[in-house]
Amino acid sequence: AASDPDLVERARAAKAKLGDKVFVLGHHYQRDEVIQFADVTGDSFKLARDAAARPQAEYIVFCGVHFMAESADILTGDDQQVVLPDLAAGCSMADMATAEQVAECWDVLTEAGVAQDTVPVSYMNSSADIKAFTGRHGGTICTSSNAKRALEWAFGQGEKVLFLPDQHLGRNTAVRDLGMSLDDCVVYNPHKPGGGLTAEQLRNARMILWRGHCSVHGRFGLDSVADVRERIPGVNVLVHPECKHEVVAAADYVGSTEYIIKTLDAAPAGSAWAIGTELNLVRRLANAHPDKQIVFLDRTVCFCSTMNRIDLPHLVWALESLAEGNVVNRIRVDEETEHFAKLALERMLALP
């Protein structure tokens, strides 16, 4: 639907009033009505880097989800304030690993005698607490665009990796990019005593995968791939690495949201594509490339409901408040958490 012209005008006026004082970041899964006001759009890696590269902006308005705004706060200067237009924009995957659960997991690994050989690698989609745990134990953060390099780095530091919290990105990267076998991976279930694993299983594993997943990407199945291949002969199937392993194995291309956009930009006219990621992005791509056939991988729609919480009314409210000198919905990570989380994030930013 077209955006409300009155709200569009108000957003424009508030942004103009703020000038260089405000910098608006927009993740690719954001609604069109919000994306039109982003100074920069990107995948989670690009947005983390761009937030850190804007020292002159007093306010960073993050149109994305909570863990992204936290990371921006960690990476920006103390005089910069990060605002999330709706505090309810969380991420169900990030919520699947709490600080208590991860501390308990580390105790389990310690008892099994494997903790000293294990390097934590945490997906960006995690709370600042989990990033701090990762930094404290010599690990790194990764995103879907650098997971391969992060794992290669981690296996240069230790024999095993504890991958948090997305089991699919961990498994897909280990198997597809590092040539490991599925048997090298075990799944740690935080809801079972000892993670549901024996000490022997932990000793034999190379990848200890946390039992987390994205419910948006989890909806794509092998049936979605078979169905679209039958409907559109010659279709290229392009999916995000948060999809299940069997879906990724059946796809033709796999990568982050930024990779998906670049791949379609470079695709020849007349080619057909089925995309396995969030729907706002897929619809925007279909509109941007009328010369290509671009469809959603599944027959049912699936938005990320928390990404969608950031809508134009929330953005207008945040911008107008800032323009009046009133900082609303500030995201602030405490100093100690920030210190260790920053170590882990900086290891990521330094990856070759």
Contact call for residues 183 and 137 (beta carbons, < 8 A): no
172 binds ligand 13P (CB under 6 A): no
Left, alpha or beta for 270 (phi > 0: left; psi -120 to 50: alpha)? left
86 binds ligand 13P (CB under 6 A): no
Backbone φ and ψ for 147, nearest 5 degrees, come out as -60, -35
- Contact pattern from residue 227 through residue 266 relative to ligand SF4, giving x for each residue in contact according to CB under 6 A and a dash for the rest: ---------------x------------------------
**Which of ligand 13P, ligand SF4, none lies near 224, with the C-beta cut-off 5 to 8 A by kind?**
none
Q: Which of 50, 242, 298, 338 binds ligand 13P (CB under 6 A)?
A: 242
Q: Which of 63, 124, 185, 216 binds ligand SF4 (CB under 6 A)?
A: 216
By the 10 Å C-beta count (0-12 exposed, 13-18 middle, 19+ buried), 349 is classed as: middle
Q: Which of 50, 70, 258, 278 binds ligand SF4 (CB under 6 A)?
A: 278
How many other C-beta atoms lie within 10 A of the C-beta of residue 340?
19
304 binds ligand SF4 (CB under 6 A): yes
Binding residue positions: 27, 44, 91, 123-125, 144, 214, 240-242, 257, 304
Q: Tell me how far, at minimum, the Cβ of 23 lies from ligand 13P, in Å.
A: 18
For ligand 13P, the closer of residues 33 and 242 by Cβ is 242
**Which of ligand 13P, ligand SF4, none lies near 140, with the C-beta cut-off 5 to 8 A by kind?**
none
Contact call for residues 3 and 312 (beta carbons, < 8 A): yes
For 282, the 3-state DSSP assignment is helix
Binding span for ligand 13P by CB under 6 A among 13-21, 38-46, 48-56, 290-298: 38-46
144 binds ligand 13P (CB under 6 A): yes
Q: Which of 256, 280, 329, 337 binds ligand 13P (CB under 6 A)?
A: 256
Q: Tell me how far, at minimum, the Cβ of 228 lies from ligand 13P, in Å.
A: 20
Binding span for ligand SF4 by CB under 6 A among 114-122, 172-180, 291-299, 301-309: 301-309
**Which of ligand 13P, ligand SF4, none lies near 129, with the C-beta cut-off 5 to 8 A by kind?**
none
Q: Tell me how far, at minimum, the Cβ of 306 lies from ligand SF4, in Å.
A: 6
- Long-range contacts formed by 278-281: CB under 8 A, 24+ apart: 278/28, 278/29, 278/216, 278/302, 278/303, 278/304, 278/307, 279/303, 280/28, 280/29, 280/30, 280/31, 280/32, 280/304, 280/307, 280/308, 281/28, 281/29, 281/257
Q: Euclidean distance between the first and final Cα of the chain, in Å?
A: 42
Contact call for residues 310 and 86 (beta carbons, < 8 A): yes
Q: Which of 214, 250, 315, 316 binds ligand 13P (CB under 6 A)?
A: 214
CA distance to 71, 74, 137, 306, per residue, from 64 (Å): 11, 16, 28, 9
Nearest to 161 by CA among 128, 113, 209, 201: 209
130 binds ligand SF4 (CB under 6 A): no
By the 10 Å C-beta count (0-12 exposed, 13-18 middle, 19+ buried), 17 is classed as: middle
125 binds ligand 13P (CB under 6 A): yes
For ligand SF4, the closer of residues 125 and 236 by Cβ is 125
Binding residue positions for [4Fe-4S] cluster: 91, 214, 304
Nearest to 247 by CA among 215, 272, 213, 217: 217
Binding site for ligand 13P (CB under 6 A): 28, 43-45, 125, 143-144, 214, 242, 256-257
